[in-house]
Amino acid sequence: MPLILPARTLDSGFNIDNSLRFNSGDSARLEKTFGTNTSERKKTFSLWFKRSKLGVYQSLFDTTVTGNVEGGVEITNEDRIQVTDRDATDGTGDIFLPTSMVFRDPSAWYHLVVAMDTTQGTDTNRVKVYVNGSQVTSFTTTTYPTQNYDIQSFKSSVANYIGANVSSAYYDGYISEFYFIDGQQKAASVFGEFNDNGVWIPKDPTDVKENVTFGDNGFFLEFKQTGTSANSSGMGADTSGEDNHFAVTNLAALDITVDTPTNNFATLNPLNLRLGKGITFSEGNTQIQTGTTGGTVGGFSTIAGLKSGKWYAEFKPTVVGTNGTMRFGIESTDFMAAAGLCNVAASAYASNGNKGRNATDTSHGDSFDDDDIIGVAVDLDNGAIYFSKNGTWQNSSDPESGASKTNAAYTDILTVLPDGGYMFAFNLVYNNSQQETVQANFGNPCNAISSGNADGNGYGNFEYAVPSGYYALCTKNLAEYG
């Protein structure tokens, strides 16, 4: 099945600007009670999603009238997409379609379409599921609705949710470009298309709107607004023209992000964690918190294998802790099993002000503490790495110095370049008494930014100015410079 691959800067296709980040720990959700539907038998749902938390039952969207009357799309504990719709009032008509495939890549955007028309004579035509443009035909079990069954999903006169199942099963991740077509069954090709490279990409909403009739309760959520009201200025604003706006619960302006299916930003990788117990990822995998049992934990960016280009990221430790050490820098994909940022190819800046590699620490700059922001600038064209604290480059270094590598922390990262390349990395050594927290910003922050600085291509949002020639770690920049 075709997956979403890195977007190209020069692509002529439509670019999505925003997504909405759901943090399950906040019980974040959107809610709407509709009036009478155009149809209870013909409905189409289309959305893009990028997961953050795996192995947990979650709801992408849901309608629950009672415990036995409900409809929606869930992600199971086994990481399968599951279409469920049941009306136990008469015991007939239920839908139950868990996919055989699993969705376990926290770095990937997926496009999902669920198209329903229960008036169809053939049962398999009554519910069609598409992922990345291809129809899903393999399910662990198949229960199709009876003919002319009234679909419970996004039902009239009851509460309907995005990102939750009433007050549970909260979704953790990103959602973008959510369409609901009330009264028509539409194929995935209405919402996306394969480009010349065989990659599934979104269609311009203008083109989509020419091929659908939204119906009385239809909507299109682009997540461009930052307000919390259930109107055109809120995060749940409907831009279809039908004014079916959603109320917002436990979502903030920072949850409107630039991480999208057409420009995928790096996050922290929950699948690539070294040692450590009780570690909690949150905020779309841009924040990590240690457990209450002391130890060592190391982690990495989802985008890895960097061998060329110049890259910038910021790390904000909101709790550094005591009697421990934090390190931020780069790590090789070849040495991920090593304990700490200390192998021969690693390069890091520690909370005690030292730089470290290969189990050796030497003085480099100032120590850092809670809420300081550490900048990491990696020059893989000249083989140097630089570190800043609150916008001041340590050891009077100059990341824009190019081949001269003025006072860089390390000037040989090309010499020790591993076969697999580099990735941004962190290492935390912590004690039992204090949980440590780190926020990672690869251009898609979860922490408030007081100034706001993009890279030279206009991508990302950083607290401090991005050095000239350095870029946020996202797929559009990778396509051009990586």
Domains of the chain by start residue, with CATH? 19-257 (2.60.120.200), 268-481 (2.60.120.920)
Residue 245 DSSP label? P
Tokens of 455: 């890279």
At 119 the three-state DSSP class reads coil
Q: Could you tell me if 94 and 142 are in contact, meaning their C-beta atoms sit under 8 angstroms apart?
A: no
- CA 440, 442, 445, 448 dihedral sign is positive
Question: Average pLDDT of each block of 10 consecutive residues along the chain (482 residues)?
Answer: 41 86 97 95 98 97 83 97 86 86 97 98 98 97 94 92 93 98 98 94 97 98 94 96 97 96 96 74 94 79 95 94 82 66 77 86 93 97 97 98 98 88 88 82 95 95 98 96 84
Q: Could you tell me if 316 and 438 are in contact, meaning their C-beta atoms sit under 8 angstroms apart?
A: yes
- DSSP-assigned letters across all residues of 414-429: TTT--TT-EEEEEEEE
Cβ neighbors of 297 (< 8 A, separation 6 or more) are 273, 274, 275, 276, 279, 290, 427, 428, 430
Choose among 261, 288, 251, 259: nearest CA to 273: 288
Tokens of 375: 């900048």
Report how far apart, in Å, the C-alpha atoms of 364 and of each of 51, 174, 239, 354, 448 are: 38, 38, 52, 5, 28
At 206 the three-state DSSP class reads helix
Q: Could you tell me if 54 and 295 are in contact, meaning their C-beta atoms sit under 8 angstroms apart?
A: no
Distance from C-alpha of 92 to C-alpha of 149, rounded to nearest angstrom: 8
